[in-house]
C-alpha cells in the first residue's frame, strides 16, 4: 500500500525538507531531522472508532507513525496497562494518580520496544540487513530481541559496566554485544563513526527520526486509556530527553487530528541527581545544557551526560508550565520500594527516578494535589535487581517445621 | 596572529578538504569573520541570521565549549587550539 500520511523529514532548526531515508541531521546547520506528516489527511482518515476497532497494540495509531507500508517488526508491542494507583495516590497525598506501566511492555519489558518496533520496521523498508544501536541497556535488549525475531543481524554497543541482567538480556538473543570502556556519550560517539563507515541501520543514530516517533505511542495510549482526555500532569524520565518531547508531541497531535479536545497540560521531567544535565538547566531557567562528563548514579539507563534532545525537553517543560526534578540514589531506592509496596509494580531504577521526582514535584507544589497525574514507568525492576542489594531484608529461613514457623511469625 | 582551527568533515567542502586551517582574530566572533574571508560560506554554517552560534554547532577553545566561556566574545591568543565540532546526534 502506498502511504499518504508520512511525507518527509524536516529539520527542527531551519525547516529544510529531506527525503525519508536513513539520515538524521540537517546538512546545513546540523539540526536534528524529524518526521513530517500531512495532518490534514490524517485528520480526515483517523477516528476514535477506527482506532478502537484495531488490535490492542501501539500500531493502532499507525497513521501517526513514520513507515510507508504495514509494520513488520514488533507487531505486538504496546498498549500496556494504565493503572489507577489509588494506594500510591494516598501515600503521596494526591487525589487522582495513574501509573502507565511499560515495565510490562512486550517483548523486553521497557518502553524501548516502542521505538524499536518503528525503527526496525523502517530499517526493513530501507533495505538494511544489519541493525545496531548505542544503548544504556534497555534499547540494546529491545534491538537484540526484535532483530532476532525479524531475522536481522544485530550489534549492540553499551557501556561495559551495565547491570548484569541488562547485559544478559541482550546476550541471550544471539546479538553481538560490545561493551565499550567509557560512558554512554563515548559509546554514542563511536556509533556515529561506525554508522558513517559501515552503513548499518543504527536505530538511534541514522534511523533516529523514525525511532523517536515510536515514543509517541506511550502518549496516545495514555490519552485513549483515560477515555480520550489529556492528563493535566505527566511525569516522564529523561535520558536523551526524547521520550519527554515525544509524549508532548503525541498530546499535541491528538488535538491536531481531532482525537481529543484541547486542554491545558504540564509535562514534567525526571533525572537522577548523579546525571541531571536537563533538570539542572530547567531549574536554572536556561536551555543551555551543560554536559555531565562522568555520570554517577544507580539509574544507569538514564545516564546520558550530553542529551541530544535536552534543549527541546527544557522548552517543552517551560512551554507547558511543567518543571524538572532530580533524585538521589537513596530516593530512587525508596521510590522503587514504595511503588512495589503500594501498587505491586516492580520498576527498574529509572522508574524509581520518575516516582521520586514526582513526589518532590508534589511536595514543592509544582504539581497540584487535586488534579489528574500520570507517571510514566518505563522499565522493569528485574533488570536492575542489584540496585536493591542490601536494601531489602533477606528472606527468613527455617526448617520445614510448624513449630519453627509459629515461632517465626510470633516475632 | 594565526590560530589553528580544526574543521569537521561536513564543512571540509568549504576549506578545500583541509582538516585544519589557520585563521586570525582577537575573539571567536572575529575568528569566524576571518574564516569567512578565506572560505566563503562557512560563517552561515556556524552562526544563524541573528549572528548567534548555531545550536548544534560546538566550538571548543582548548577543549572548553565557548558557550560556557564568553561565547562569541571568548578571547583568543596565538597558541589556543580551536575546534569546530557538530553536536553528536543520537542517544
Ligand atoms: C527505562 C528507561 N526510561 C527512560 C529512558 C529515557 O529515554 P530518552 O532517551 O528518550 O529520554 C530510557 C533510555 O534509555 C530508559 O532506558
Ligand atoms: Zn537545518
Which tens digits make up the pLDDT trace of A209-241?
999 999 999 999 999 999 999 999 999 999 999
Ligand 1 center from residue B27 Cα (angstroms)? 39
Asked whether the beta carbons of residue A308 and residue B68 sit closer than 8 angstroms, the reply is no
Give the pLDDT score at B88. 81
Strand B20-23 vs strand B64-65: parallel, antiparallel, or unpaired?
unpaired
Q: Is B16 on the interface with A (CB under 8 A)?
A: no
What would the pLDDT profile of A255-267 be if each residue is shown by its tens digit? Answer: 999 999 999 999 9
> Whole-angstrom Cα distance, residue A288 to residue A96?
34
User: Which residues approach ligand 1 with their CB closer than 6 A?
Assistant: A 110, 136, 138-139, 237-243, 301-302, 348, 350, 378-379
What would the pLDDT profile of A14-69 be if each residue is shown by its tens digit? Answer: 999 999 999 999 999 999 999 999 999 999 999 999 999 999 999 999 999 999 99
In this structure, is residue B91 part of a structural domain? no
The H or E element spanning position A7 is: strand A6-11
Q: Residue A118: which of A83, A93, A142, A94 has the closest Cα?
A: A142
CATH fold label, A82-108+212-388 = Rossmann fold (3.40.50)
Give the pLDDT score at B91. 64
What would the pLDDT profile of A76-119 be if each residue is shown by its tens digit? Answer: 999 999 999 999 999 999 999 999 999 999 999 999 999 999 99
Ligand nearest to the CA of B54: 2
Across A189-202, average pLDDT? 90
Give the pLDDT score at A181. 95
Across A282-306, average pLDDT? 96
Q: Which atom of ligand 1 is nearest to the CA of A379?
A: 1
Ligand 1 center from residue A237 Cα (angstroms)? 7
Q: Residue B56: which of A24, A212, A215 has the closest Cα?
A: A24
Give the pLDDT score at B20. 94
User: Which CATH number do you get for residue B31?
Assistant: 3.10.20.30
B27, three cell numbers = 575573539
Quick count: other Cβ atoms within 10 Å of Cβ A408? 11
What would the pLDDT profile of A344-385 be if each residue is shown by its tens digit? Answer: 999 999 999 999 999 999 999 999 999 999 999 999 999 999
| pTM over 0.90, yes/no | yes
In this structure, is residue B15 part of a structural domain? yes
Contact between A323 and A270 (Cβ < 8 Å): no
Asked whether the beta carbons of residue B91 and residue A28 sit closer than 8 angstroms, the reply is no
- The percent of residues in chain A predicted with pLDDT above 90, rounded, is 96
* pLDDT band with cut points at 50, 70 and 90 for residue B9: confident
Give the pLDDT score at A193. 87
Contact between A336 and A351 (Cβ < 8 Å): yes
Which of helix, strand or coil describes residue A336? helix
Give the pLDDT score at A1. 44
The complex's ipTM works out to 0.89
Q: Residue A80: which of A289, A347, A307 has the closest Cα?
A: A347
The count of domains in chain B is 1
Domain residues for the domain of B50 are 3-86
> Whole-angstrom Cα distance, residue A380 to residue A347?
4
* pLDDT band with cut points at 50, 70 and 90 for residue B89: confident
Please say if the pLDDT value at position A178 is more than 70: yes
Amino acid at each position: 500500500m502506498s502511504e499518504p500520511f508520512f511525507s518527509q523529514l524536516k529539520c527542527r532548526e531551519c525547516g529544510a525538507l529531506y527525503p525519508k531515508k536513513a539520515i538524521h541531521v540537517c546538512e546545513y546547520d546540523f539540526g536534528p531531522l524529524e518526521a513530517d506528516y500531512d495532518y490534514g489527511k490524517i485528520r480526515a482518515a483517523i477516528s476514535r472508532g477506527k482506532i478502537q476497532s484495531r488490535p490492542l497494540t501501539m500500531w493502532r495509531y499507525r497513521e501517526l507513525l513514520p513507515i510507508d507500508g504495514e509494520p513488520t517488526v514488533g507487531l505486538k508491542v504496546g498498549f500496556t496497562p494504565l493503572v489507577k494507583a489509588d494506594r500510591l495516590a494516598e501515600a503521596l497525598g494526591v487525589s487522582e494518580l495513574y501509573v502507565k506501566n511499560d515495565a510490562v511492555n512486550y517483548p523486553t519489558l521497557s518502553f524501548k520496544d516502542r521505538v524499536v518496533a518503528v525503527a526496525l520496521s523502517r530499517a526493513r523498508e530501507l533495505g538494511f540487513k544489519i541493525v545496531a544501536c548505542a544503548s544504556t541497556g534497555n534499547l540494546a535488549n529491545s534491538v537484540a530481541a526484535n532483530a532476532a525475531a525479524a531475522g536481522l543481524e544485530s550489534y549492540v554497543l553499551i557501556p561495559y559496566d551495565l547491570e548484569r541482567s541488562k547485559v544478559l538480556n541482550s546476550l541471550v538473543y544471539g546479538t553481538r554485544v560490545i561493551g565499550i570502556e567509557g560512558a554512554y556519550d563515548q559509546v554514542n560517539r563511536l556509533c556515529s563513526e561506525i554508522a558513517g563507515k559501515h552503513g548499518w541501520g543504527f536505530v538511534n543514530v541514522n534511523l533516529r527520526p523514525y525511532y523517536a516517533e515510536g515514543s509517541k505511542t506511550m502518549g496516545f495510549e495514555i490519552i485513549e486509556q483515560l477515555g480520550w482526555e489529556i492528563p493535566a500532569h505527566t511525569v516522564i524520565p529523561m535520558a536523551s530527553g526524547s521520550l519527554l518531547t515525544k509524549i508532548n508531541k503525541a498530546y499535541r497531535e491528538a488535538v491536531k487530528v481531532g482525537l481529543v479536545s484541547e486542554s491545558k497540560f504540564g509535562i514534567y521531567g525526571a533525572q537522577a541527581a548523579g546525571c541531571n544535565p536537563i533538570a539542572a538547566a530547567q531549574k536554572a531557567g536556561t536551555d543551555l545544557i551543560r554536559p555531565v562528563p562522568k555520570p554517577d548514579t544507580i539509574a544507569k539507563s538514564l545516564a546520558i551526560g550530553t542529551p541530544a534532545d535536552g534543549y527541546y525537553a527544557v522548552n517543552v517543560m517551560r512551554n507547558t508550565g511543567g518543571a524538572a526534578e532530580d533524585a538521589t540514589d537513596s530516593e530512587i531506592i525508596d521510590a522503587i520500594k514504595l511503588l512495589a509496596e503500594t501498587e505491586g509494580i516492580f520498576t527498574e531504577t529509572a522508574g524509581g527516578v520518575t516516582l521520586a521526582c514526582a513526589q518532590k514535584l508534589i511536595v514543592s507544589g509544582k504539581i497540584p494535589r487535586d488534579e489528574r497525574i500520570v507517571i510514566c514507568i518505563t522499565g522493569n525492576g528485574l533488570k536492575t535487581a542489584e540496585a536493591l542489594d542490601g536494601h531489602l531484608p533477606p528472606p527468613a529461613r527455617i526448617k520445614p517445621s510448624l513449630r519453627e514457623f509459629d515461632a517465626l511469625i510470633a516475632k | 596572529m594565526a590560530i589553528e582551527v580544526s574543521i569537521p568533515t561536513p564543512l571540509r567542502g568549504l576549506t578545500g578538504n583541509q582538516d585544519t586551517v589557520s585563521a586570525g582574530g582577537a575573539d571567536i566572533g572575529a575568528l569566524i569573520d576571518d574564516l569567512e574571508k578565506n572560505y566563503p560560506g562557512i560563517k552561515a554554517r556556524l552562526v544563524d541570521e541573528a549572528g548567534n552560534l548555531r545550536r548544534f554547532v560546538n566550538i571548543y577553545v582548548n577543549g572548553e565549549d565557548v558557550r560556557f566561556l564568553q561565547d562569541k566574545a571568548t578571547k583568543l591568543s596565538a597558541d589556543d587550539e580551536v575546534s569546530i565540532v557538530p553536536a553528536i546526534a543520537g542517544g
